[in-house]
Structure 1
């Protein structure tokens, strides 16, 4: 496990430096990890929350070097708000995911969308930017959010996975914007790649990417099977499902678990396997 002092610039690869934001929580683990890519000129991935101490830590790590781009994987409030003050301090353009504002503060405070995010350029799937000794290519990975991007660092065979794949927990997929079918398809997309390592926004680097992604796919399929078994037992209310499926869960995470169950149910309904009946669910007739 990586030691994770807040605000300290930690080299995790010759081309990659990590700076941890001071926003630990049950959803962010030790906090959001911002990454600096490059040695002479830099890209900053996921600048993090709008926190003056974190902004100063990023500027200290940048150490006066030119910043080519500020890249955001998605627009949850623990990832993109520092882009604007970092742009003001460095002059770098904000590049990456598309803007997305959704009135969805019910899950958790730090998953609210960043309404002020205003990119100078949106990267399409497969589009690249480059600096001295580094190339970053956008990889569309919707599921956690519809605008989520990962960024592949060609020279290190590394993938910055944002919240699509995390190093400490499974990803929350919360409707209405979170989509389980899209999330699973994005995992399949990662399985077809040959990345050497993942650098997630939360948690440790992942050194066996394909095996890890395969495990996430298996976990989601196991959850799907649990839901279908509960429906066969005529347990169709989401709170009752969560109580059976997530034994010993931190109560602060109950709402998020319910949203992930709902995401599975919506996917199963789209496939014709279940149907809603009021506030409850049942197997399709």
Structure 2
């Protein structure tokens, strides 16, 4: 806060700085307006519930779990009684060494009724795989699951097994969350990321390619330059020009009322 001037009323200037080297401070109003509009629609949650505070925050939906920050997922996974983690693996999580996608996938399985027992993250796993390539575990981008719902993976692979059910659930992950590797003794028709390997009889390996780090194709440099400083300013200016739609809090007079059937006899029709 600075000294007031005769031609300007006292005020507080609020700005945010996007991530990235050289990013300028920008006006957050267009972004906050968008968040406020989403809040009024309740599109990501049940109306009247707050997924971030209070009693409702302890039972987030699967969609909310996949949207959580890495920090929030670190706390949830480390304290989730439905996820069993070995000692130094928990330290890997709490020290921030494990990729967000790994954490979100473990929470995703637990929220789906599949309680994973984690046997390997980064700690305790070799830098190289048995085939001699660099393991995704070495960068915190993979997890080995030795049991689900207390049922060991060893001796329980094949059609209809707990391994089958777990992998089928993992295959529903899409976009950036889609694993690059799901390794067991099983492969699944129509998939490009499931592999059968003989040394995976006792666990399911789920891995992702690292998102960051130097690479031969320069992709890491590209990730640091997604938006240049001036482009941030142009983007926020353009967002400020877009008029937000009016979202009704109550149904309009044109809404069609849903009539509940007298019985559930034709519920599937």
- For this structure pair, what is the TM-score category when the shorter chain's length is used for normalisation? under 0.3
TM-score (norm 1): 0.25
Structure (1 or 2) with the larger CA radius of gyration: 2
TM-score (norm 2): 0.26
